[in-house]
């Protein structure tokens, strides 16, 4: 587990040392295949919500907020109770929460399957259990918090597809579980990677994810600049 002050004040020398061990989500054959089972784009614009956890929420948000069709992202906590949904409590690794990102998107422009593909391709390493690189603990676990049976079925089908094809060198450990509550994180965590691009932790852990998204999914990438995109 690494506390916020350590992440925030990470020195340049430590950042260089971390660069060789930071988690990278790489398929064995490059970009991972699209889901064989997905929904069609909606006929009319609308609003849908997905919630993902994949390590430090700074980097997960930095990826999803740069997708065409995503209208809003919020970092927060899921998997525990409202009474324990604060950063100081979550970092004790005793609350059951995972650092998560709520993604609001237009299903006429982006499918849930496309979100899953990005999640498994560049947002995190889905084969690391209860950690991402040097961030260790259950709050950094890989989770898809589904909000409907359709999301549940799509997520489980895609994980089965990727495991059957041995896309990754190790089995996927991502949990698929119902969303019982999403609790917005503290203001200083929102858009953290955008607001602190020269923070060594962001440089080592999160900016490579943004670069990978742009390279692997140029048709989905947008240059996010904050509110108003």
pLDDT in tens, 200-217: 999 999 999 999 999 999
Q: Is the pLDDT of residue 184 over 70?
A: yes
Q: Which fold does the domain 4-216 belong to in CATH?
A: 3.30.1060
Per the model's pLDDT, the better-predicted residue between 23 and 220 turns out to be 220
Closest Cα partner for 119 from 198, 47, 35? 35
Record the tokens describing residue 86, joined without a space. Answer: 């604060």
Find the length of the chain.
229
| pLDDT mean over 169-180 | 97
| pTM (2 d.p.) | 0.90
The pLDDT of residue 31 is 80
- Alpha helices by DSSP H, 91-184: 112-118, 149-164
Task: Output the CA–CA distances (angstroms, integers) from residue 179 to 8, 27, 39, in the order listed.
Answer: 29, 27, 20
Read off the pLDDT of residues 9-37 as tens digits, 9 standing for 90 and up: 444 334 444 443 444 433 334 589 999 99
Q: Which of 22, 50, 51, 56 is catalytic?
A: 56
- Residue 229 binned pLDDT confidence (cut-offs 50, 70, 90): low
- Write down the mean pLDDT value for the chain: 89
Task: Give the confidence band of 228 by pLDDT, cuts at 50, 70, 90.
Answer: low
Task: Tell me, yes or no, if 24 is annotated catalytic.
Answer: no
Closest by alpha carbon to 4, among 82, 99, 97? 99
Domain segments of the chain: what residues? 4-216
Residue-wise pLDDT tens digits, 159-172: 999 999 999 999 99
């Amino acid at each position: 587990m690494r506390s916020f002050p350590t992440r925030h004040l990470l020195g340049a020398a430590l950042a260089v040392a971390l660069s060789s061990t930071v988690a990278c989500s790489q398929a064995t054959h490059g970009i991972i295949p699209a889901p064989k089972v997905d929904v069609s784009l909606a006929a009319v614009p609308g609003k849908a919500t997905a919630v993902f956890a994949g390590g430090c929420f700074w980097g997960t948000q930095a990826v999803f907020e740069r997708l065409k069709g995503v209208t809003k992202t919020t970092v927060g906590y899921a998997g525990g109770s409202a009474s324990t949904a604060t950063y100081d409590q979550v970092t004790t690794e005793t609350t059951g929460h995972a650092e998560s990102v709520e993604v609001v998107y237009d299903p006429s422009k982006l499918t849930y399957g496309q979100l899953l593909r990005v999640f498994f391709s560049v947002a995190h390493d889905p084969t690391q259990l209860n950690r991402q690189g040097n961030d260790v603990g259950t709050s950094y676990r890989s989770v898809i918090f589904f909000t409907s049976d359709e999301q549940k079925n799509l997520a489980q089908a895609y994980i089965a597809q990727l495991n059957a094809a041995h896309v990754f060198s190790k089995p996927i450990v991502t949990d698929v579980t119902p969303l019982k509550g999403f609790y917005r994180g503290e203001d200083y965590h929102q858009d953290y990677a955008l607001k602190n691009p020269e923070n060594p932790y962001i440089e080592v852990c999160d900016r490579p994810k943004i670069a990978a998204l742009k390279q692997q999914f140029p048709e989905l990438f947008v240059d996010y600049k904050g509110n108003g995109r």
